Amino acid sequence: MIETDGVSCSILMLRNDLIGKRIPITKIGSNAEQYIDELTDYTNIKDKKIVAIDPNKADLIYCVDNDNKEANEFRYTQDSRRKECKIKKYSKIILEFKKEKVEGKTIIEYETELSKLNRKTLIIKDFKEYIKKKSEINNKLYKFYEKYLFRKLKLNGYINKKKHEQKMINNFKKIFGKPEEVIITIGDWEQKKQMKYKEATKGIGMRKLFRQNNYKVYLVDEFRTSCMCSICKDETGRCEKFQVRENPKPYKSGNVLVHGLLKCKTCNNVWNRDVNSATNIYRIAKNAINGLERPKYLCREKKDENVKVEKPKKEKVKKVVQKKAKNQLRLSP
């Protein structure tokens, strides 16, 4: 079967071994990766190189292959992805076109009206209202969105994304090795809700990308991996934000604590948050493969059911940041 929109073309093919048979359906929501410490047999992966990956928003992945200074490092950022895929360029072009008026209103105004209604609502009355508004706006904007430009940009964006992802995989392969030589252990960080003012980033899709390139991917519980010092290897080695700078966001003023830099309270080592986290993830994976327990300083505390612990009152984050910023400014010469 062939589908086309006049610019791109999709060809749906059926495997020879499935002709005349029932096509297997993949289960939705099933996890393709296992946790490294839940495996029962490590014989196939014991001699392979471990690459630990810390997933994030700005640095999409930060990779290390050891827990010392000699470790090879690899960093893949959202900025490089945005630039090479031309995401910002294409969105600006589309935004300029959306300023065009249709029946006295711009495209942006029409879409703003629709965004005020909830398409996920379970209240029938509200959902009917959404369907009615959606149908009304679709009829008005049909001619606008059938323009050749939108289909062309969509195809170009897809091609750029595939090229850039393959380039990233090739660079990863040069540094760490082929899929037969390497296993990937990645933190199980998952963004359940999209952050305000942040564009969508690859999370589960990043694991899928490595699997498609024949890498074995395992999950690691990344509890405490970024906030505990990987040099101290002790519960006293807690890392905290320390550096104060002017807020880089143009719509906000005042000073903020730098999120990406941490200082250990015990040994005073300054850490890049991602390096520290990736190093601890490597250590957890290495211990699991060698039949050792998870490092104690990265373990969850066991709760005693007989003892009731009063939860401390949570202070507002803004107040804590302001207080630390003021103290830092007083101490600075």
pLDDT digit string, tens, across residues 37-72: 999 999 999 999 999 999 998 899 999 999 998 999
Residue 114 is predicted with a pLDDT of 95
CA distance 98 to 107: 5
pLDDT tens readout for residues 190-215? 776 777 767 777 888 999 999 999 99
- Render pLDDT for 10-34 as a digit per residue (tens, 0 to 9): 998 888 888 888 877 766 555 678 9
CA nearest neighbour of 33 among 175, 226, 189, 167: 189
**At 313, is the secondary structure helix, strand, or coil?**
coil
Q: Which residue has the higher pLDDT, 231 or 20?
A: 231
DSSP state of 67: S
Show me where the domains of the chain are located. 45-298
> Which DSSP helix (H) or strand (E) runs through 7?
none
Say if CB 187 and CB 281 are below 8 A apart: yes
Task: Tell me the percentage of the chain whose pLDDT exceeds 90.
Answer: 70
Indicate the pLDDT class of residue 90, thresholds 50, 70 and 90: very high
Strand partners, 219: 35, 186
pTM for the whole structure: 0.83
Among 170, 279, 200, 199, CA closest to 232: 279
Q: Average of pLDDT values for 115-135?
A: 95
**Between residues 120 and 22, the one the model is more confident about:** 120
Would the pLDDT of 308 be above 70?
no
